[in-house]
Structure 1
């Protein structure tokens, strides 16, 4: 394992005052965690199509996407500011800007808070104030409830902390209608039940990292068989909830067919992981990342079907 430099960040900032402007810009972008925001936008834009029952105003889509990026980016920057102590000790996060010293903690704090203010005003002035309130609520939930209160205290951190990642669904709906609906609530619950079985396989892979810093992710404190059983339970609920859009009248045969097919494949992978865990398979042969990677494909397919269903069904 690669040795981790455990010196305080300030001591590792040798020469950081001479970092190029381009490197600093890249560091500020890295604070926003762009790859995570991609997933959030995947769940926001299709819901706008469903809420509109067709193609929403494209300027509204653009404004919602920009506002969503600013808000989520601010939340992620503040998350990195708060977690900079444990990020320095974890292999997968030791190259983050506040650990390497490319940026100072104060810069990340100001940057994150500025994005929080700008994104709220952006939503309020260019979209609507309902979406602004939901956006600010998602940011505060992620930073305060998940990062500050849950992450280091309970193995249920990702379950309840994941609510922040569900709110972009409601933001997408409210940006078009100014209100919420049962259809939006169903898709909110899909992401709620998707988040734990999406993240727990990754946590199984890097549980030594979390154990080293005392973060009680479920795979750290429970056996693989227990984690796999929880993954299967959440997976069945998620697939069942995803099919509710049809009987509630929010989707037709196309969405239902895609959700059912993708859900069946998900359940196959979830049960396969459980079977390997029960057999005592460890290390690379556990193949826990198969479900993690499929989870991203799954949510992309289901929400693409959400966007296309009004035109096909």
Structure 2
């Protein structure tokens, strides 16, 4: 009976030791074994791993790409605009031993470096670069983070700036600027259209001037189109040739010279001569009128007495 108890105890101890010495490393992990505090040279591959109980310690390191959001950072751009920018960092561990030995917490370390790098990028860039040239800023920030991270056995895959928050006053200013730019483009397009239309009209006028029959055909076509609309009033244009003929036949009015204007002004002597001539003309016309009236009545001159 005692032998059976001892045997069962030994089996239990061996089973406990077997369980304590067995570890499973997953496909996306690597195992770093510390034996009496010293790291073994090569990390453990995925699968079943045996360690010495109470002597070895296994640390599992995730080799997958880690997505780390960078908290929004406030900063002032190079052109003195206050902005709030956040980003995201993609990285993975390429050396599990250095990631576990050279840095205490590589996740926290990468996060701090990313925040300082983001603030540095904000201060070195203009607002237009943050809004329009993000790819260049992403590459610059990636190099800034990858420089210290490489010494920790970490590779930065990609860094992206997510959002750029602007003050409300700046948003209103940019909105007004964009509206003014759209209005300018619309005016330019309208002006170009009018210029092209005027050029086409000028060419058409030259063709019609060389071929007057084309103008008459166009006039007849317009009349037909207007008549097809069933209008009660039809307006026909006045012939331009008639206007040109009248302009050629009408003699131009002569503008009197200053000497003629002065000569035509009334003077006292000229007014007296004019009054005398008018009176004599009236006296001469009275007998003539009397004789004509007498003849009309059948009275001969000299018979009134």
TM-score normalized by the length of structure 2: 0.21
Q: Which has the greater radius of gyration?
A: 2
Greater helix fraction, Structure 1 or Structure 2: 1
Greater strand fraction, Structure 1 or Structure 2: 2
Higher relative CO (Cα under 8 Å, sequence separation at least 6) belongs to: 1
TM-score normalized by the length of structure 1: 0.20
